[in-house]
Amino acid sequence: MRHGVKGRKLGRTSSHRKATLEALATSLFKHKKIKTTLAKAKTAKTFIEPLITKAKNDSVHARRLIASQINERKVVQELFNVIVPKIGDRPGGYLRVVKLGQRFGDAAQMAILELVDFNDVASKKKESAPKAKAKAEPKQKAEAKPKAAAKVKEEDVQDANVIEETAEVKTDENIEEKKEDSAEKENK
């Protein structure tokens, strides 16, 4: 029976498993989103979320604890200076695991592990909701635009230098002249 057996072995020794989870944590904090197997993603989630919770307390001790788990100094600084302030007062649930399906070759279940507050898709959905409300009233805004254009003061309008572009029309004469010029250059 498996009573009280917690965690996954991931087919590795304990030191190799620890190194794998530290590397996954470093990559996630650096890139904000990583693609890995489902088992590694779920295990990394239980490893990374306590690190973020510790990082909320910005102290020397917290920085040293996290630096012992994360391999790059710049990533530790980014965690404390960028990621934690954006997470704010979220009480856990910092990561999302999105299942992708099976990998070709060995049919391993793949997943994306990402920081919740750094997801571009979710932020685009939030921005598109106000746009949907704006689309409901396009007639009122269309009528308001000509009035706004009429309110432009003469003082605000500056004289612009007009540059005329002459488009050279391709005629048989122009083509023959260019051929003659190129032939003269080759002879020299």
Any idea which residue has 């600084």 for tokens?
A: 77
The 10s digit of each residue's pLDDT in 100-111 is 999 999 999 999
The 10s digit of each residue's pLDDT in 26-51 is 999 999 999 999 999 999 999 999 99
Six token digits for residue 64: 């040293």
Task: Tell me the C-alpha to C-alpha distance, in Å, between residue 141 and each of 138, 145, 147, 151, 152.
Answer: 5, 6, 10, 16, 18
pLDDT at position 117 is 87
pLDDT at position 129 is 64
pTM: 0.63
| CATH of segment(s) 14-122 | 3.90.1030.10
pLDDT at position 132 is 54
pLDDT at position 162 is 47
pLDDT at position 168 is 52
Low-confidence ranges of the chain (pLDDT < 50): 148-150, 156-167
Parse the chain into domains and list their residue ranges: 14-122
pLDDT at position 172 is 64
Six token digits for residue 29: 């904090």
Task: Tell me the C-alpha to C-alpha distance, in Å, between residue 61 and each of 49, 56, 57, 77, 180.
Answer: 18, 12, 9, 14, 80
User: Is 109 in contact with 39 (CB distance < 8 Å)?
Assistant: yes
Q: In degrees, to the nearest 5, what angle opens at C-alpha 36 toward C-alphas 32 and 38?
A: 115
Buried b (16+ CB within 10 A) or exposed e, 73-84: eebbebbeeebb
